[in-house]
Amino acid sequence: MGACKETPANGQTIVQRDTAISRSNAFSTLFFDSTALEQYLERKSMPDTARQLVRNFYNQRNYQFAWFDSSGVAEQSLHFWNLQAGYMELSRDSSIYNPYLQAWADSVQVNGMKAVPDSARLQVEWAMTLQFLRYAAQAYMGNHRLDARDLNWFIPRKRVDILSMLDTLVKEKGKDIDRYEPVNRQYGLLRDQLKRYYEIERLSSWTPLVIKEKKVQRGDTGNAIIQLKNKLALLGDLPVADSGNLFDESLELAVKRFQLRYGIKQDGVIGGATLRELSQPINRRIRQILVNMERIRWVPEEPSSDYLLVNIPEFKLHVYENGQYTHHMNVVVGSSTNSTVIFTGGLKYVVFSPYWNVPPGILKKEVLPGIARNPNYLAQHNMEWFGNRQVRQKPGPKNSLGLVKFLFPNNYNIYLHDTPSKSLFNEDKRAFSHGCIRVAEPEWLADWLLRADSNWNKESISKAMNAGKERFVTLKKEVPVFIGYFTAWVDREGRLNFRDDIYGHDEKMMKKLFQ
């Protein structure tokens, strides 16, 4: 292939033709006229970027056919069609269905490889290429009906070289196309779980668990216990479901396993929260898995360096060192009315004994009314006026940011910080903040971030946190921070986890994906 490229005035890249390709050494012995392709593309309604991709693809092939050869339909055509069919079946996404090409594919299956007459071959050839562009963009980069920003997702979406993918499929006859799948390991793990849930949906009659008592626990009996055992066995939390109606020790352990996977207090008791999760329809869980697989299509490759990941619905911060998981801690995130934004940034500063500059919204809604009611409000809250009618809280143990904060400059005024309200970390659901993220182990995090700086150790960090004087420390190397939103994932022990859709983002996606 020709490696040179030129960029015209409109910014679109044109891939140069490989003039070494001729009928004697071509991948296909079938060629067509470039003028006919241009006329076809001009008749079609499509984005300019897609039109240019088609031009580039055929230009670099010296206008050889990609989907046909001298014997009829080429092997890669059938491989692509099987790929697409598998995607549509697994994702339940028929938005890329093409009835014209499907009729052709059905004809090939019935009548063999020469099913396409010569008169229609060129139209099918070009239609197949356009169809591949639609499929690849949808399956590898995310559903075209979803604008991530409308769904409060501001992590830059992953980019895929669709032209290279198409070239690989045609040259290798589909053998190496799997390498373009979402590289995040969660995608494959969730896909396997999705297949299992499809099987549960197909084989079982999943009905809500009916329990009249406020709670059911070890030692209780009743018909609902039999239903509970069957459900937990299907979900994999109970190894074997017997026909007994006694809530025994093995069932209690199974309930605890279920509660762990759903972020519920592990008491082994069927109460309100556990009953609610057990009664969710299987189809709802399937859609929840699909929504999270869609999100994974959007995310960029995981860094091989150090990075931090906050999963908002999980209320956890995960620490990765050289791309490998090393630690996690509880966090408090924004409430449903003050939601934490989904975005990415670079952590640059650790600030010991910080001031808290009261945000305008909190100043207007809470502080100014407090001053109006009580002239001593500022003094009682260790606050002071500064600058142009701004209020800040002085450093100290009662400071709303605690004893240290971690800054990654962004447009949303969101950062990680300590807190004096430690008891909230013991709650199962921890959406209590005004949008920033409170961390349960701030001293550990400061030590980890500064571990490469010889000026800092545990003792000096503790001293700076309690100095009562603000001090900024610039990290030697910026650490990427990802604030994500995943309500279904597979943990390191292979367990499928679900969490509440605390901000309603799943619901918005489901309405667009499954309407």
Q: Which residues are catalytic?
A: 417, 436
- Class of residue 233 by CB neighbours under 10 A (exposed 0-12, middle 13-18, buried 19+): middle
DSSP, collapsed to helix, strand or coil, labels residue 377 as: helix
DSSP, collapsed to helix, strand or coil, labels residue 195 as: helix
Give residues with Cβ within 8 angstroms of 11, minimum separation 6: none
Give residues with Cβ within 8 angstroms of 278, minimum separation 6: 209, 228, 231, 258, 270
Using CA atoms, how far apart are residues 280 and 260, in angstroms rounded to an integer? 17
Q: For the chain, what is the total number of helices (H) and then of strands (E)?
A: 17, 18
Give residues with Cβ within 8 angstroms of 233, minimum separation 6: 239, 240, 241
DSSP, collapsed to helix, strand or coil, labels residue 319 as: strand
Using CA atoms, how far apart are residues 323 and 425, in angstroms rounded to an integer? 27
Q: Please work out, in degrees rounded to the nearest 5, the angle formed at the alpha carbon of residue 514 by the alpha carbons of 511 and 515.
A: 65
Start-to-end CA distance of the chain, whole Å, equals 44
Give residues with Cβ within 8 angstroms of 167, minimum separation 6: 1, 57, 60
Using CA atoms, how far apart are residues 479 and 345, in angstroms rounded to an integer? 8
